[in-house]
Amino acid sequence: MFADRAKIIIKSGKGGNGHVSFRREKYVPNGGPDGGDGGKGGDVIFVVDKGLNTLTDYRHRRKFAAEPGAEGSKKKMHGKNGENLILKVPEGTIIKDAETGRVIADMSGENQRVTVLRGGRGGKGNVHYATPTMQAPKYAQPGGEAVEIEVLLELKVIADVGLVGFPNVGKSTFLSRVTNAQPKIANYHFTTLQPNLGVVDLDEGFGFVIADIPGLIEGASEGIGLGHEFLRHIERTKVMVHMVDAAGTEGRDPIADIKAINKELEAYNPELLKKPQVIAANKIDAIYGEENEIIEKLRDEFSDAGIEVYPISAVSGKGLKELLYCVKNLLSTLPQGATVYESEFDPSVKVMSEDPCIVRQESEDTYVVEGQRVERMLGYTNIESEKGFLFFQKFMKEQGILDELKNLGIQDGDTVKVCDFEFDYYE
């Protein structure tokens, strides 16, 4: 199977905790605290690998995690930083948040290396908390939390021209004729099971990339046939070439086929119909005369829409040069470079928004403060000591929690519950 989609879980490294220790040496008075800082957690970094063309590496493994930072140590020794996690993907891969479907990063163009998740910062050792009035701090800062999210990887091939059409109309034969690609060719439907890319080289060094998209049928946008799996690959193309069977070897109506495919493209993404289109009426070597009534009908039907029709034979090569130069002229009028999707989502913002301090009134004279941020702060603060309690009060003020309590109407003597602690409020 052509692996162009994968859903994986990625996790950055947790920051190492700060260390609590004191220098105790013979003949060294007033040693004081000497706990070192924790190491930074590893980042999750996506890198484009030009040698890859599928997402097979992520088909059978689901979880990927960066290395956490090591805890600090005595003698002010810094903990080891966690190793970054490098994930290699083919060019054209789009990284999306699996929950919302929004784009985190598009590994195309200049985005060859993108840091998607940053590791937690290392916690400060107790050496940082020594003051003239608090010379023996017995607490240190814990390391920053790791970030874990589920992402969807989607590969959208980077090609200038998309070759679309019903099965068995000669798309793969055309690709093998005008490029060096060697797709599988046979006289049955759905011979092509994955997108094939080929490079067309024209005069004066001008060239472009063609993507042969597996055959589309009616209902492809709803998952019928193979088309639904590969419609996404058309999104990056700049020009679409509709290939139809002008000889009617299978008794199909080319006009109806083109309209059916455009209907599927519109159902999948209406923006696709805004791309320039060209019709390639293939298999003219199988009909008598220069042209037939089918080609005339195609021109009459689509001339008003500005869509040109080129009779070709992918087998004999007749008409291919004219078609390719038409495509070249269309591409020359369009912006150069691959289409790159803008980032719509920052995982770090999501984590911050999911970590609020919640202040609510439980009863007439009881208020509750809760949230992971408060719990983490209490985890490294000894509020039973005078200095630790002052540190706790400073945190409540800086985080705006005291202001929220006042807005809720708290009065002197009311009770404030914070995790497993209860305090009496006095302004």
Is pLDDT larger for residue 45 or for residue 138?
Answer: 45
Split at pLDDT 50, 70, 90, the class of 351 is low
Chain mean position to CA 89: 11
String of DSSP letters for 341-352 = PPP---HHHHHH
In the annotated binding site for GTP, the residues are: 165-172, 190-194, 212-215, 282-285, 313-315
Could you give the CA distance from residue 169 to residue 198 in angstroms, rounded to a whole number?
18
pLDDT tens column, 200-258? 787 766 777 888 877 565 554 455 554 455 677 777 788 888 888 877 777 778 888 88
In the annotated binding site for Mg(2+), the residues are: 172, 192
Predicted TM-score (pTM) of the model is: 0.64
Residues in the chain: 427
pLDDT of 397 higher than 70: yes
Split at pLDDT 50, 70, 90, the class of 423 is confident
Helix (H) or strand (E) holding 97: strand 93-97
- Tell me phi and psi for residue 274, to 5 degrees: -80, -10
Domains of the chain: 5-155 (2.70.210.12), 159-333 (3.40.50.300), 355-425 (3.30.300.350)
